[in-house]
Structures are given as structure tokens and as C-alpha cells.
Amino acid sequence: VLDLSNGSFHDHLLIDFSRLPQLKNLSTRKNNFEGLIPQTLSDCR
């Protein structure tokens, strides 16, 4: 679980999700991210 909720982030999400192969749950609610969704996020399954 990676919980980034309520973090007051206000920019791009710069996480290389390919380095988190065991990630099962990602929470980013209540933030203000801008820009594109990282391509490596779609590789998480």
C-alpha cells in the first residue's frame, strides 16, 4: 500500500512505479496533481 492521500501535493507525480512491483494499492485522493500519469503506473498489475 502506498498512501499519498491528503498530502497537499501540487505538482507532477514523479514516482517510478516499475521500482514498486509488489504495489497493490495506491491512494492519491485529496491532492492536486498536474500533468500526465506516469507510464510506469500502467505496468502495475
pLDDT tens-digit readout, 9-44:
666 677 787 788 888 888 888 877 777 777 777 776
**Amino acid occupying residue 26:** L
Q: What is the pLDDT of residue 16?
A: 81
pLDDT attached to residue 2: 79
pLDDT computed for residue 45 by the predictor = 64
What are the boundaries of each domain within the chain? 1-45
Q: Which amino acid type is present at position 33?
A: F
Question: How far is the C-alpha of 31 from the C-alpha of 34, rounded, in Å?
Answer: 10
Rounded distance, CA 4 to CA 25, Å? 11
* The pLDDT of residue 40: 77
**Nearest by Cα to 13 from 45, 43, 27:** 27
pLDDT at residue 8 greater than cutoff 70: no
pTM as predicted: 0.53
Cell reading at 9: 501535493
